[in-house]
C-alpha cells in the first residue's frame, strides 16, 4: 500500500564490488496517523425532545416516550388557561404539579376561569382554588391508564402597562414521588382519607417550603430564591415577553402507566374511617411525581386585581378506553414506539435545556437535531 503512512518501506541496493544485494528496511512511525475523529450526535426523537424542552410548541403534540417499555398508545393533551387574581395584600402563590387530575393550586390569591374548583381538603376545609380535570367524564372516559410525556407552565402579565408593579419568583422543585394530592377524593368506596391531616402537614410531607402552622400554612415565597433552580422577573418583563417554565424529568416515576381515575380494584387502602372499615382501591390518579413541580410567588401587585394568566399544558399517552359502542376512535400518529438511543438522546438534550424561557429567547430550543 504505497500511499499508507503505516506501510513498511523496503529499499534494495546493489554494492559495486561484491555484487551482493543489501536490503534496508525502514520501520513505520511508532505513532501511526489516526483516522479523523468526527463528533457523531446521538439520535434524538424530535417530537419527544420538543415536548420535553418546549411543551407549548405545536411540534410537541402527539409525542410519545420512546423508552424500553413503549407499546402502541393513544396520544392526547390537556391545555387550560386561568386568570390569577391577587389577594388583599397584593400577593399570589401557586403550586403546579405533574398530575392529570389536579394541575395547580392557588395558595394565595385566587383563580378565575373555567375548570376551577374549590380546593376542599380531606378535613373538609375550603383552602384555595384548584385547577382540575374531571377524572371520569374527561380523562377516564378517554384513557384507562396513562402517563405524562411532558408538561409546561406559562405566565403572561395582563395588568395595565401603566401599572406594572410587582415581581414574580418561579422555582422548580422535585417533590416526593407518590405524594397524594390533598383534595377530598375517593379511593375505593370512600372519600375519608387521612381526615386529621392539616395543610402544614401536607406541605411538610410533600417538601413544599411553607410558613405558618396548621391550616393557615402558606407557600413561603421568601425561601424560593434559596432553591437550586429559581428565577425572578418583574411585572414589566412579564408584560413585554412572558415566561415559560419547563419542568424536567427527575425520577423513573415519569415513565409508568397509572390508572386515570378512582377504582375499587387495587391494594391502596383508605384509613381513618370512623366505622373501622377499611376500603381498598387504586389511588394512582391522586399521586404525582416523576417531573419537577413548579412554585410561583408574587408580591407587590395591585390588591384584588387580575394581574396575570396561568396556562398549563400536559402531553399524555395511554391505553384508550373502549366501550361497547366505541364510535369514532382517534388515530395515533405512527411513531416508532421503542428507540432507546433516541430516548436517552432526548433526555440528555432536555437536561441541558433551559428551565425558564422567555419568548424572545425560547427559539434556542426550537431547532433540534433530526433523527
Spatial separation of the C-alpha atoms in residues 149 and 217, rounded to whole Å? 32
Tens of pLDDT along 255-289?
Answer: 989 988 888 887 777 654 445 566 778 888 888 99
Domains along the chain with CATH numbers: 46-323+330-365 (2.60.120.20)
96, 312 Cβ separation under 8 angstroms: yes
Query: Residue 146's beta-bridge partner residues?
Result: 258, 318
Q: How far apart are CA 76 and CA 316, in angstroms?
A: 5
Dist CA 330 CA 71 (whole Å): 17
Residue 84: band (very low, low, confident or very high) from pLDDT cuts 50, 70, 90 = very high
Q: 317 phi and psi, to 5 degrees? A: -140, 150
Angle, helix 46-53 to helix 340-351, in steps of 10 degrees: 30
326 has a pLDDT exceeding 70: no
Claim: this prediction has a pTM higher than 0.85 = no
118: β partners? 129
Q: Is the pLDDT at 73 greater than 60, yes or no?
A: yes
Amino acid at each position: 500500500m504505497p500511499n499508507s503512512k503505516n506501510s513498511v518501506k523496503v529499499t534494495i541496493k546493489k554494492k559495486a564490488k561484491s555484487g551482493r544485494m543489501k536490503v534496508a528496511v525502514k520501520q513505520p512511525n511508532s505513532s501511526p496517523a489516526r483516522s479523523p475523529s468526527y463528533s457523531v450526535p446521538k439520535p434524538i426523537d424530535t417530537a419527544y425532545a420538543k415536548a420535553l424542552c418546549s411543551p407549548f410548541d405545536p411540534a410537541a403534540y402527539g409525542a410519545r416516550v420512546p423508552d424500553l417499555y413503549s407499546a402502541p398508545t393513544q396520544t392526547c393533551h390537556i391545555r387550560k388557561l386561568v386568570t390569577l387574581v391577587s389577594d388583599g395584600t397584593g400577593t399570589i402563590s401557586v403550586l403546579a404539579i405533574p398530575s392529570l387530575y389536579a394541575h395547580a393550586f392557588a395558595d394565595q390569591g385566587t383563580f378565575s376561569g373555567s375548570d376551577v374548583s374549590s380546593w376542599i381538603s380531606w378535613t373538609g376545609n375550603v383552602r384555595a382554588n384548584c385547577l382540575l380535570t374531571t377524572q371520569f367524564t374527561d380523562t377516564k372516559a378517554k384513557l384507562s391508564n396513562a402517563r405524562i410525556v411532558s408538561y409546561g407552565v406559562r405566565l403572561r402579565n395582563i395588568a395595565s402597562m401603566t401599572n406594572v408593579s410587582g415581581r414574580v419568583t418561579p422555582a422548580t422543585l422535585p417533590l416526593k414521588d407518590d405524594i397524594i394530592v390533598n383534595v377530598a377524593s375517593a379511593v375505593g368506596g370512600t372519600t375519608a382519607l387521612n381526615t386529621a391531616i392539616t395543610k402544614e402537614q401536607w406541605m411538610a410531607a410533600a417538601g413544599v417550603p411553607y410558613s405558618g402552622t396548621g391550616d393557615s400554612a402558606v407557600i413561603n415565597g421568601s425561601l424560593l430564591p434559596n432553591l437550586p433552580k429559581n428565577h425572578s422577573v418583574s411585572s414589566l418583563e412579564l408584560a413585554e415577553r412572558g415566561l415559560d417554565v419547563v419542568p424536567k424529568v427527575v425520577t423513573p416515576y415519569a415513565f409508568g402507566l397509572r390508572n386515570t381515575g378512582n377504582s375499587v380494584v387495587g391494594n391502596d387502602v383508605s384509613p381513618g374511617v370512623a366505622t373501622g372499615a377499611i376500603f381498598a382501591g387504586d389511588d394512582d390518579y391522586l399521586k404525582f411525581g416523576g417531573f419537577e413541580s413548579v412554585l410561583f410567588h408574587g408580591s407587590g401587585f395591585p390588591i384584588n386585581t387580575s394581574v396575570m394568566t396561568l396556562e398549563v399544558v400536559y402531553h399524555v399517552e395511554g391505553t384508550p378506553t373502549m366501550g361497547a359502542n366505541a364510535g369514532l376512535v382517534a388515530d395515533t400518529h405512527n411513531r416508532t414506539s421503542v428507540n432507546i438511543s433516541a430516548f436517552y438522546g432526548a433526555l440528555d438534550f432536555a437536561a441541558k435545556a433551559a428551565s425558564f424561557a422567555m419568548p424572545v429567547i425560547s427559539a434556542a430550543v426550537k431547532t433540534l437535531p433530526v433523527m
